[in-house]
Structure 1
Amino acid sequence: MDEAFVLTPEDQRKTSGKRRNHRRDVPYSRLRLLRAKVNIRESQQSANYESDVEISDKREDRALTSRDVYTSERTFQTAVRPISFEELATRAIRRTTGETLSFQGPIPKAIQYDLATNRRILTRLFRLPRNADIVIRDFSIGGDHPFRAIAVFVDGLADKTIINTHILEPLMYLTNLDHQTPRGQWLDHIKQALVPGNQAVAFKTWKEASENILAGSTVLFFDGISAVLSVETKGWEHRTVGLSQSEAVVRGPHDAFTESFRANTGLVRAKLRSPRLVTEMLQIGTLASTDVAIMYMDGVTNPKLVTEIKKRIMGIEIDYLPDSGMLEQFLEDGPISFFPKFLSTERPDRVAYGLSEGQVAIFVGHSTFALLAPVLFWTLLQTSEDAYLRWPFGSFIRVIRLISLTIALLLPSFYIAVTNFHPEMIPTDLMLAIAASRERVPFPVVLEVVLMEFSIELIREAGIRIPTIIGPTIGIVGALILGQAAVAAGIISPLLIIVVAVTALASFTMPNYNLSFSVRLLRFGFIVAGAAFGFYGIALGLMILLMHMVTVRSLGVPIMSPIAPRRTSSPDSLLRGKIFKMEQRPNAYWPLRTRKEAEVTRGFDPRVADSEEAKRARRGWGRRGRVKK
């Protein structure tokens, strides 16, 4: 394209004035036209880049003044723009491929027949060649009459060994193609050549093709075929199955979920081997899609529950969803409440047991935690180890956790209420001991408790963030040094150190991380209530808390069920029942199959058999004492 550059009228006026002033002194040349031509010839046969710049001066009979020289140089610099390296690379691609760099216009929804057009769409869709990890490999299919094809994959997500051995090599040596038939019918033959080594799925839209490329698969484009083949070649590096970090147990499996999406679902299937186990795939994200899997037991889980979860997930509009913790906040009922509405776990055995009970499991991308819903409050106080222990031991541990929950929630506020408002409720010797320990303390009890609780939170957070090798040491040594120094300085009473330490130990017994956060936050609320009104404030706070808890729901299920509302359910709620007596699934989940055990599970025991026969006989009698026919 030729571009002519002339002087502006303002420059011409300045130049003409300068000429009139110097007409008698210096000969000059009048610049009528400055023209710059930049010719870029693109040819498939020639790889030479030619750029000719012509500056013609039609009248050379006069000499240029200094003003004219300055004006011409400035105009020349504006006309001849320096060419960047990216533009040179663009022109080189155009010369070698014989096509434009990117697709012009809106990207179509369907795959195109022309391979060159599909390549231009790929260039525009994935920002090539700037995007360095998107690889496009050209190859030919068929022996004597080859036709072109390309393989597209992401370097780092796809296994190159699988691509070379199981995709490119079989297709390059494929010779049983009938060239008399249309190319649209060749897709089945190509798919059959790839099936023995990989899973190949055909797609016809750009959305499906791009999602499979970004998921680690290799997508094949063919010249003359308006469809693509997506071949499973995922092979990125990930952490192997390791030990559970937040839900450690003494008895039971020790494996935990990893950052591999398919490995996590596979761990659940390995433990729950049933054809009823269904895994439905969804995707979230407008900027970057994230895989979401919904697992449930068909015929056991209530389908209304599955439908509700899918409706909530599909209604989420977000650019990027990195972890299951964010999805939990999007799906929960009543986001203002402190109590969790989903059970977050990293243990496959707990997910498998929840699925068998009628719950729904949700896996998000590369998150190491799965979500179980709906959840009950009593479930948050349970661990997977409870089911592996005999019922007296499991019940004892659950009672310990319930007492620990009460201590972690109310002990500091109880200490404040007794010290400030109700000293007559404790023995005289204990009251005198408390008064003597606080004789040199300059702060009120409330400020004293808040300072110690804040110090415990600092130590807890520091122990988590500091490297694992010295983290526990910092927690123990820091607590000892701070406590001893505070008591020696007379800032904190010794009895308060005991109260805060017991409270911290009780909070550490919470098996659920989200529940422990709820208890820690609510503890400060009860501290304020106890400091303001004593036991009356604590009682009022408990009443408000219980009223709130009976209204909290998890996907429509009250979390305090089966106690509030009261209904007959499995004995595995607050306490651990006998394993052979837990015949029913929790009614709060509304399962399709309520019974999970036979009426007689210990048939070898004559006492159990006789008692079961007696129960069946009693159930068989009518209201008048006669057996129903």
Structure 2
Amino acid sequence: MLKRLKRLFIYTEPEHKSEEFRFPEDPSESSKWGQFAGYEKKSRDEEKNNTNNDEEQAVSNIINTIKKSSQSFDYKEYQANQTNVYNKLSSILKTSQESSSYGENQSEKNDKNNKQENSDNYKSEPEDENSSIRILRPKRIEELVKNKNINKDSKIKRADEDGREHKNSVNIENNKKETENIRTIDITSDFKICESNEDNKDAKNSKNNKEDSNTGEKKNGGDAKNETDKNKKGIKLKYVSKSLDENIGFLESFYNIPVNKDLIIKKFNIAKRIPACLVYVDGMIDKLIVTQFALPQLMDEHAFRHYDFECDCPLDYIEKNVLTIHQMCRMNSYEEINPQIVSGLAVLFIDGCDECLVMESRGFERRGIAPPATETVINGPQEGFTETLRTNITQVRRIVKSENLITEFEFISKKNNFLCAIMYMEGIANPRIVEEVKRRVKNLDVDYISGSGMLEQLIEDKPYMIFPQIVSTERPDRAASFLMEGKVIIICEGTPFALAMPIVFFDLFHTSEESNLRWQYATFLRIIRLMGLLLATFLPGMYTALILFHQEMIPTSLLSSIVATRVNVPFPTLVEILLMEFSFELIREGGIRVPGVTGNTLGIIGALILGQAAVEAGLVSPILIIIVAVSGLGSFSIPNYSLSLAIRIIRISFIIFGQIAGFFGISVAFTILCAFALSMKSFGVPFFSPVAPATRSNADKVVRAPYYEHVWRPDWLNTQDERRMGDKARGWKPDIGGAQR
């Protein structure tokens, strides 16, 4: 047994070198990776080399004899010799069983062709009574006749044809192969040999391929960029064709018309002369734009009174003199056109034009601007984002009125053409952060994205981390403040939330209301939130550790009351506290899902009734109800919803570690949590900046300084413009002027 194990781990040289493992030189040799694969392959290679050497030796002999005979070259004598060789060749082929299908008619044709043409090339050897003539029979005699018309200066060819054993030819050992390299030799001045693989089947396939390629390369209306082919659905186009019928056929096949009833293709004549069509999705456009500002102007002859109809394409004239729609652009690639059509834009195709005109015509129903539901404030704007992308961008631009605010659009998913806008401040935002955000968004390969939540999970650094690495906001004023700090904003179509990146841990505690409050009030609210975070995280776990492991740390009076209330409780401490935690989470989730005011009422009343009933039934102790309620209120004080969910999960893990090892277990859990959190990065920025790593003092961490002291932007962003305001932001001296003289 030990010897067998030794063979697995210790290499020993084989007794025979032929049994050594040899890495295949050619990847197409064999798929077998056995121990003796090299030995088997070696024998096959030797046989193959022997057959190849015999064939090459025979061909070289033919070349040498032809070279010797060509030294005293006479054209008349050469023609007579070629005629004799051809007659012998045809007689041998007639006697062969394999060539019997060609018959006597074929040889007569060959004789006629031989008389008409002077330069012929055949495989033969010089006549010798003692030696037999070595002739390698081609696959068909038609191929031999076709290759007769060769000039004196033509190149020598070598064709791959079927090698079959002939009675007067040299025996070839490798009869298993179907084709062999047979070299046809022509006498030229320089005696060059060229190889060409010409088989009858290959020739037919090449002709068919050429015919297909010639038909496929026909240009639609002279457009060289267009690539068309026919399939089961119809025409496939990559670019707009000059033929209107081909464009309509492609759109009908691409959008499954007439099965699909949403796409409308309105055919008409521009100025009653030029065929055209207007393509749009029903219900996605404003019909007044199409019926009042597009079709009437295009069909009016008076609008084209100054147009020269001999021109190829009227797009320039239409764009500058006819249509009054405020936003138009030209496109020629269907990869760009199709997302515009399904997004609610109207597209104009004109016969004879290899471009189309995309017109802004969106007019679908949308929700109006309403107060934000998740980020309510008392002192501040009461407007929130909507599900319309253009409306959300406008709300941000209304606050940040700057020419440096850049908005870039990007389609993300393949199937639903999900559109998002990347916004940043040119001259403030770090270019490396901007490029990193663009890189992650552009390299997504997904079919469907429903909103900003899915996009957040696809572009964050560490998906398995419990803390959020991108902050989402429903308020335009907060998004504007992120932009002015140097962050990047992503606004998605169909969702009322904007994503801001990169972020740090302290951004999750800040609210937009703090900028409108005095610095003392804002600092007080931040301290309250921080205390709520600590209570929600550690209080249930510390209670479990004190009850089970550290009773000596509890005052005697409090310990006696706790013991008295737990006399009738039948469950251990861990089961008791987990039961109440899950009950409280059920009440909170039910209150959120129940619509209207009933949800809030259900949460409050349900918690009171359930807690009171549990105490009276003796299932839990009254002190535990207080512990769970305080920890729940602490989680409510966290302004970020994602961070609140993370704290609720961490709280349960601390309870389990406290049950296992008391305060020591909680310390271990906290150390593990800090190790993971400190290793996190948001687009290259450490998650706990500016504390770890420590950077220049920032006046907006936990304690908020007066607003005029916020001179510098966050240094961990490495912005291009680090100053937020001047050294003397107020610019006026206090205690001067006013009512005093």
Which residue does 2:277 correspond to in 1? 150
Which residue does 1:140 correspond to in 2? 269
Give the 5 Å matches for 1:261-276: 261-276=389-404
Note if 1:382 corresponds to 2:548. Answer: no
Aligned residues: 506
CA contact under 8 A between 1:102 and 1:123: conserved in structure 2? Answer: no
Note if 1:108 corresponds to 2:222. Answer: no
Note if 1:468 corresponds to 2:596. Answer: yes
CA contact under 8 A between 2:505 and 2:687: conserved in structure 1? Answer: yes
Note if 1:572 corresponds to 2:739. Answer: no
**What amino acid sits opposite 1:155 in the alignment?**
D
**Distance verdict in 2 for CA 1:103–1:187, change over 3 Å:** farther
Which residue does 2:359 correspond to in 1? 231
How much has 1:180 moved relative to structure 2? 4.5
Q: Kindly report the root-mean-square deviation, in angstroms, between the aligned alpha carbons of the 2 structures.
A: 1.7
1:500-528 CA-partner distances (Å, limit 9, x unpaired): 11111110011001000100111111000
1:150-183 CA-partner distances (Å, limit 9, x unpaired): 1111111101111111111111113235345322
Question: Which of 477, 493, 499 is 2:627 aligned to?
Answer: 499
Q: SS of the counterpart of 1:580?
A: helix
Distance 2:426 2:357 in 1: 31
CA contact under 8 A between 1:166 and 1:194: conserved in structure 2? Answer: no
Which residue does 1:396 correspond to in 2? 524
**What amino acid sits opposite 1:334 in the alignment?**
K
**What amino acid sits opposite 1:157 in the alignment?**
M
1:338-359 CA-partner distances (Å, limit 9, x unpaired): 0000011110000000000000
How much has 1:105 moved relative to structure 2? 5.1
Distance 2:330 2:464 in 1: 45
Distance 1:336 1:569 in 2: 31
Note if 1:131 corresponds to 2:260. Answer: yes
Which residue does 1:45 correspond to in 2? none
Identity %: 41
1:398-438 CA-partner distances (Å, limit 9, x unpaired): 01100100000011001111111111112111111111111
Distance 1:384 1:538 in 2: 34
Distance 1:362 1:324 in 2: 8
Q: SS of the counterpart of 2:671?
A: helix
Note if 1:249 corresponds to 2:357. Answer: no
1:294-313 CA-partner distances (Å, limit 9, x unpaired): 10000000010000011111
How much has 1:606 moved relative to structure 2? 4.6
1:200-236 CA-partner distances (Å, limit 9, x unpaired): 1111111222111111000011111111100000011
Which residue does 1:221 correspond to in 2? 349
How much has 1:268 moved relative to structure 2? 0.5
Note if 1:428 corresponds to 2:556. Answer: yes
Distance 2:679 2:323 in 1: 54
Note if 1:581 corresponds to 2:709. Answer: yes
CA contact under 8 A between 1:142 and 1:175: conserved in structure 2? Answer: yes
Normalising by structure 1, what TM-score? 0.79
1:424-483 CA-partner distances (Å, limit 9, x unpaired): 112111111111111110001111000000001101111111112311111111111111
Which residue does 2:579 correspond to in 1? 451
Give the 5 Å matches for 1:17-28: none
How much has 1:601 moved relative to structure 2? 1.5
**Distance verdict in 2 for CA 1:377–1:104, change over 3 Å:** closer
CA contact under 8 A between 2:239 and 2:334: conserved in structure 1? Answer: yes
Question: Which of 649, 655, 676 is 1:521 aligned to?
Answer: 649
Distance 1:234 1:121 in 2: 23
- Between stretches 329-338 and 599-608, larger displacement belongs to 599-608
**Distance verdict in 2 for CA 1:514–1:526, change over 3 Å:** same
Give the 5 Å matches for 1:330-369: 330-369=458-497
Note if 1:546 corresponds to 2:674. Answer: yes
CA contact under 8 A between 1:103 and 1:123: conserved in structure 2? Answer: no
**What amino acid sits opposite 2:254 in the alignment?**
L
Distance 1:387 1:533 in 2: 44
Question: Which of 645, 660, 673 is 1:532 aligned to?
Answer: 660
Name which structure has the greater RCO, CA cutoff 8 Å, separation 6+: 1
CA contact under 8 A between 2:405 and 2:424: conserved in structure 1? Answer: yes
Which residue does 1:198 correspond to in 2? 326
Distance 1:264 1:603 in 2: 35
Which residue does 1:86 correspond to in 2? none
1:225-281 CA-partner distances (Å, limit 9, x unpaired): 111100000011111110110000000011111010110111100111100000011
Distance 1:351 1:390 in 2: 21
CA contact under 8 A between 1:170 and 1:193: conserved in structure 2? Answer: no
Distance 1:103 1:233 in 2: 33
Distance 1:577 1:194 in 2: 59
How much has 1:106 moved relative to structure 2? 5.3
Which residue does 2:82 correspond to in 1? none
**What amino acid sits opposite 1:464 in the alignment?**
I
Distance 1:428 1:103 in 2: 86
Mind listing any 5+ residue stretches in structure 1 that lack a counterpart? 1-100, 609-629
Q: SS of the counterpart of 2:348?
A: strand
Which residue does 2:424 correspond to in 1? 296
1:507-563 CA-partner distances (Å, limit 9, x unpaired): 001100100010011111100011111111111211221222111110010110000
